[in-house]
Amino acid sequence: DGDVYKYYSEGEWKTSSSGKSVSIVNPTTRKTQYKVQACTQEEVNKVMETAKFAQKTWAKTPLWKRAELLHKAAAILKEHKAPIAECLVKEIAKPAKDAVTEVVRSGDLVSYCAEEGVRILGEGKYLMPDSFPGNERTKYCLTSKIPLGVVLAIPPFNYPVNLAVSKIAPALIAGNSLVLKPPTQGAVAALHMVHCFHLAGFPKGLISCITGKGSEIGDFLTMHPGVNCISFTGGDTGISISKKAGMVPLQMELGGKDACLILEDADLDLAAANIVKGGFSYSGQRCTAVKVVLVMESVADALVEKVKAKVAKLTVGPPEDDSDITPVVSESSANFIEGLVLDAKQKGATFCQEYKREGNLIWPLMLDHVQPEMRIAWEEPFGPVLPVIRINSIEEGIHHCNASNFGLQGCVFTKDINKAMVISDAMETGTVQINSAPARGPDHFPFQGLRDSGIGSQGVTNSIIMMTKVKSIVINLP
């Protein structure tokens, strides 16, 4: 059927028996760019069955061989960075250079994961019994890490390749099989990435990629009895998955409302540069984007001026031109962002730039004098709109940060390391960055959110550990 990309099951590229497809709309042209298969529940069942079967042999495949295949996949992925990046540009309007960076970073992540897996999975423990009351030295406990089985990976549109491999690589090195459900926007980039794993020569059925509408196969996948672990990155859907999923380990990376706290002694040039990079890169469509600036009133005017000057230099346009600001992923997303802007306008926020929108393209906008009753003070726009709240004490800033239902990352700018440490301790977020904007990478750093921002911790090492279970063997002496 020509122009509909096939899905990947049993080591083969297949056409769905549904005869239906899902369209991927290019955010820039707002026209259908690609089509993918709308897979059926029977096709999901088949994928689960083969994943379960393939995993049994894979778990017994020597660790070094698993690592070798991952290194091969990483190299192939990097070789194919150009066509994959092109899909990212067309499907999710990622600026051209960032799209290439995403693929290269993904290859590096896969290699790192293989190396880390070889080390941490190559070690077990040996426990003596006589530390526990009543025991003599008559039992010896040997522990190792065993795979969970079938891991279901659901990455989001903003990193369809990177946040897919950050789940695939730890799952595979640990001896699991993997079923990938890519986001609709980004599905074709993900299918190309899966093809790199195919070329590397992984056993049939070990990796599958099923495409389709979340409304048709989403619940069926996440509630499938064949799933032994779910690793999800995205929005509110993660909360409903958590409520419906069975008794399986969950790794959830959900939204964020990352605060940037600026103290009176902060290096304002450094802070402004980080606010612009953190707030506006990929047009604010990152869960780790700076989503609210909390600045001490005494330095607020100076900071706002510096940020304004930098925002004026941002280029706005199509991703092919490597513009800083590109169209947001969908019309509904642009409408949602606009809703937040209009609410702030009606409630009296100061517009540092004129609000401008053409189709899905929204010009970068900073809103000053934002008040707690404005939606933008709390909600995540996932777009190039940044609220500034002026505060009169550090406590007020920390209180705003901790009152959020999100708790992904936060950052603080000050030259006083003692203050920075006390504030970092008080900020109830998974990570606090001192003198830099929030970010997930380097990808081996732990990455986790509190409250509605997630369950569990990611980063290469934590993901590998999360996708395993401890197995003990106890030797009992007579």
Is 251 a binding residue for ligand G3P by CB under 6 A? The answer is no
> By the 8 A CB rule, do 143 and 471 touch?
yes
Q: Which stretch binds ligand G3P (CB under 6 A): 28-36, 56-64, 398-406, 436-444?
A: 436-444
Q: Is 396 a catalytic residue?
A: no
What would the x/- binding string for ligand G3P be over residues 155 to 174, using CB under 6 A?
Answer: ---xx---------------
Stretch that binds ligand G3P, among 2-10, 204-212, 217-225, 439-447 (CB under 6 A): 439-447
Of the pair 29, 435, the CB lying nearest ligand G3P is at: 435
- H or E segment at 451? strand 450-451
Residues 253-292 contacting ligand G3P, CB under 6 A: 286-288
Residue 431 in the binding site for ligand G3P (CB under 6 A) = no
Contact 183, 477 (CB under 8 A): no
Per DSSP, the residues of 242-283 read HHH--SS-EEEE-----EEEE-TTS-HHHHHHHHHHHHHGGG
Choice from 440, 453, 460, 466 touching ligand G3P (CB under 6 A): 440
Question: What is the Cα–Cα distance from 51 to 330, expressed in whole angstroms?
Answer: 33
CB neighbours of residue 442 within 10 Å: 12
Nearest distance from C-beta of residue 9 to ligand G3P, angstroms? 27
Size, binding site for ligand G3P by CB under 6 A? 8
Instruction: Identify which of residues 256 and 327 has a Cβ nearer to ligand G3P in the complex.
Output: 256
Count of alpha carbons within 13 angstroms of residue 154, beta-carbon side: 28
For residue 94, state whether it binds ligand G3P (rule: CB under 6 A). Answer: no
Give the per-residue SS3 of 280-337. Answer: HHHHHCCCCCCCEEEEEHHHHHHHHHHHHHHHCCCCECCHHHCCCECCCCCHHHHHHH
Alpha-carbon distances, residue 10 vs 7, 53, 430 (angstroms): 10, 10, 38
Expressed in angstroms, the distance from the first to the final Cα of the chain is 68
The three-state secondary structure class of 145 is strand
Counting contacts by CB under 6 A, is residue 154 touching ligand G3P? no
Token look-up 């955010």 returns 27
How near is the Cβ of 179 to ligand G3P at its closest, in Å? Answer: 21
Measured from the CB of residue 30, what is the shortest distance to ligand G3P in angstroms? 23
Interaction between residue 441 and ligand G3P (CB under 6 A): yes
Minimum CB distance to ligand G3P, residue 3 (Å): 30
Omega before 372 within 30 of 0, i.e. cis: no
Instruction: Kindly state the smallest distance separating residue 159's Cβ from ligand G3P, in Å.
Output: 6
All residues at 6 or more sequence positions from 265 whose CB lies less than 8 Å from its CB, including other chains:
414, 415, 416
By CB under 6 A, which span of 183-191, 303-311, 420-428, 434-442 interacts with ligand G3P?
Answer: 434-442
CB atoms inside a 10 Å sphere around CB 373: 10
Phi first, then psi: give them for residue 230, nearest 5 degrees: -125, 130
List the one residue from 69, 439, 460, 466 that touches ligand G3P (CB under 6 A).
439
Residue whose CB is less far from ligand G3P, 168 or 439: 439
Q: Which of 253, 320, 338, 354 is catalytic?
A: 253
Q: How far is the CB of 102 from ligand G3P (least distance, A)?
A: 9
- Our CB check for ligand G3P shows the closer of 206 and 252 to be 252
Q: Catalytic amino acids?
A: 253
Binding site for ligand G3P (CB under 6 A): 158-159, 286-288, 439-441
